[in-house]
Chain A
Amino acid sequence: MSKKLVSLFLALLIVFSMTASLAEGSGITVTDMYGREVTLTEPATRIVVMQPSDCEILCAIGCEDAIVGRGQYVDYPASILEVPVVQSGENTNIEEILALNPQVVLMNDMSQSEEQVKQLEDNGVKVVVSKAADIEGVYFAIRMIGKLMGKGDAAEAVIADMQATFDEIKANSKNEGKSVYFEVSPLQWGLWTAGKGTFMDELAEMCGLTNAFADLNDWASISEEQVLARDPDYIVTITMYYGEGPTPVEEIQGRKGWGELKAVKNGDILNAESNAISRPGPRLKDAAIELYNFINGIKTEEKPAA
């Protein structure tokens, strides 16, 4: 009897030590988008995500259940709204994050201070920085998050899917010298547009368009008269419509002097799904399809053969 017990105990001991050494051997090391090396002993199962795009990536690779806390603007998919918020405005509540006991916090490099990062790391929480500036960057982020969660294959599948869509759009588009103006912020609030180095610019190029403001970098506030002078063929506004007053498209059509623009005359104004087009996540694929369909006059229901 006692012999049996001892052997069982020994057996258990062996199993335990084996798993331990196995985990150590397969410890995960990722290089985050800030160039820091972050090592985990096993794939993360509890994660706090601060940026909407990273959350969308997590959900796309099937890790929604691992999310235990979220940033203020993380709102897609809708089911994520059940998860507690650990941020309000510019303030991140470190205590709340620690209380959720995550292994990893995925964040952008702007909104948190170095002190806060240190505070998290001192408490054993790994901080992984994700900041995609272009489509390549989105792929990088997806791979990085996939590795972090032990879902490398799922990540590659998401990337392949995006890539395939983009390639197909590219193959079906050719540049006819048409230009597009992205309106990030409407006239009433001061015009802002997307220049070089934004996903919008990349999407435009993919669809065979030239960004009317390709001479600017990133997002920039611009003069109204510049839009009138550049007379774009297409206008894409990402202003949200709240169901009251004129729609964003009607508002643009109604602006004094804008009636002369080619885009307005031809009715080529798109009110794009703003979160899809402005977040560096998997839904850029949807934004690309929306833009392609708009330019090629295909109704949204008839998706291209993607």
Chain B
Amino acid sequence: MRDLRQLRREKFAPLTYLLLTFALFLTMILCICVGSVSISVSDTLTTIWNSVWKLPVPESIAKNIILNVRLPRVLCVTLAGAALSLCGTAMQGLLRNPLADGSTMGVSSGAALGAVTAMATGFTLPGSSYGGIMITAMAFAFGSLILILSLAYALDRSLSTSSIILIGVIFTMFISSIISLIITFASDHTRSLSFWTLGSFSGVNYEQAALLLLALVLCGGILFRFSPELNAFAIGEDNARHVGVNVKRVKLIILITVSVLIGVCVSISGTISFVGLVMPHIARMLVGPNHKRLLPASLFSGAIFLLLADLISRTILSPIELSIGVITSLVGAVAFVIIFYQTRKAR
């Protein structure tokens, strides 16, 4: 009887990392080779191989499409998927709430409001056309976080999980109405409402991929560094304090890190929901709740998931392109119901 309860969990050995890296690499190749315009796999791979090694690439439409459209897009999607999934994992651990995510917390909406405001007012930073929007998105993500936390704190001094989520939901609704208001009055300057609610990777470039990479390395590094604390929070906030975690400080650092990462993602691709909500669950089924293994696993699975979702959005109605959020919400909602059902059944 006892033995049945033993969880034989394989160590998250280098082999698992290797497998995940391999799977991600294969998915990336697939997403570069398949697109709304069909280009042969050998042409695609030769083009990439030659440009990586600075060999001459024959001028062609294929080269143009692969190097200027698909590659930057695949890179951005990979990085954003990884980032969003990491954020969701961190939130779910920190708040010990399997429904927590940047979008349920209101951080994504805050970031979107920042980006919309920057666009409507024409705020830019010298040097980078995107810098102003990104900085404002981050600042608003952080600002909304502070607001949510202070409201939650006023409700309940221990900053408990339920009060944060509740305020996050109300805040998201409030922000959404402000965004539609701004778009109504400044629709010529900002992106459409559907971009902010469903997200899109159309027209992303290498500069944005580099920014995403930078944000992911920095913020991802911080989150990995805090995996023991995340474990402590996931077991229980009181317990975390009892074993010596500086609860308020760690909470603040993790929430800021997450809001920076979400700010960067949202300013580049709009709000893409369900990645951060569902992928951590899938990763947890694969490797268990320990963040030392969970964070890398959700990083990889988030990237793979978003790549496939983007592939579908680009190709299913070609030459028409769907919003990526349509796919993630569709797949994500179904996956979520299945996960929810199975976890309930397992209990």
Contact = CB atoms under 8 A, between A and B. Distances in A.
B188 interface: yes
A21 interface: no
B61 A190 contact: no
A189 B189 CA distance: 10
B65 A215 contact: no
A228 B192 contact: no
A226 B38 CA distance: 10
A210 to B, nearest CB: 15
Interface stretch (A56-64, A138-146, A240-248, A291-299): A240-248
B122 interface: yes
Contact of A190 (B37, B59, B70, B202): B202
Contact of A242 (B36, B61, B129, B189): B189
Interface residues of A, number: 30
Contacts of B59: 260
Contacts of A187: 202-203
A242 B187 CA distance: 13
Contacts of B51: none
Interface stretch (A118-126, A127-135, A151-159, A216-224): A216-224
Interface string B198-220: 00101101100000000000000
Contacts of B129: 245
Interface string B180-199: 10001000110110010000
Nearest to B66: A225
A226 B124 CA distance: 30
A224 B314 CA distance: 10
Nearest to B188: A240
Interface of A: 88-89, 185, 187-191, 213, 215-216, 220-226, 228-229, 231, 240, 242, 244-245, 255-258, 260
Interface of B: 35-37, 59, 61, 64-65, 67-70, 72, 122, 124, 129, 180, 184, 188-189, 191-192, 195, 200, 202-203, 205-206, 314, 318-323
23 contacts: A89-B180, A185-B192, A189-B192, A189-B195, A190-B321, A191-B321, A215-B319, A221-B320, A221-B323, A223-B36, A223-B37, A223-B314, A223-B318, A223-B321, A224-B203, A228-B65, A228-B68, A228-B69, A242-B188, A257-B64, A257-B65, A257-B67, A257-B68
